[in-house]
């Protein structure tokens, strides 16, 4: 088996695109944004970082898992929120 390059040449004329003025770029396939769309955006600058999550294996009683799963999607997030509330209450009690 020979080692062939996995790179494909698509024939795009990169230099022509680099030299193209902005006025010649076709944006017709991009939907226009409205002020209402931007108003729903969230700027995270200055806010505290969202804590990173860590994957682990945790054994829970079947009844507990079924209870949280019965609430639909996001059951792992709800378990995390409940554990966080317990952690914060425990810290405050100390």
Contact 78, 64 (CB under 8 A): no
Distances, alpha carbon 12 to alpha carbons 9, 37, 65, in Å:
8, 33, 52
Among 27-31, 48-52, 63-67, name the one with the lowest average pLDDT: 48-52
Q: Over the stretch 64-80, which tens digit does the pLDDT of each residue have? A: 999 999 999 999 999 99
pLDDT at 9: 63
Burial of 68 (0-12, 13-18, 19+ CB in 10 A): middle
Q: pTM score, two decimals?
A: 0.47
């Amino acid at each position: 088996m020979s080692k062939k390059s996995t790179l494909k040449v698509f024939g795009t004329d990169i230099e022509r695109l680099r030299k193209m003025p902005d006025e010649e770029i076709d944006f017709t396939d991009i939907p226009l944004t409205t002020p209402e769309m931007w108003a729903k955006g969230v700027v995270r600058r200055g806010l505290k970082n969202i804590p990173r999550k860590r994957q682990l294996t945790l054994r829970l009683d079947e009844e507990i898992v079924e209870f949280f799963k019965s609430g639909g999607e996001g059951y792992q997030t709800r378990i995390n929120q409940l554990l966080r509330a317990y952690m914060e209450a425990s810290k405050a009690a100390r």
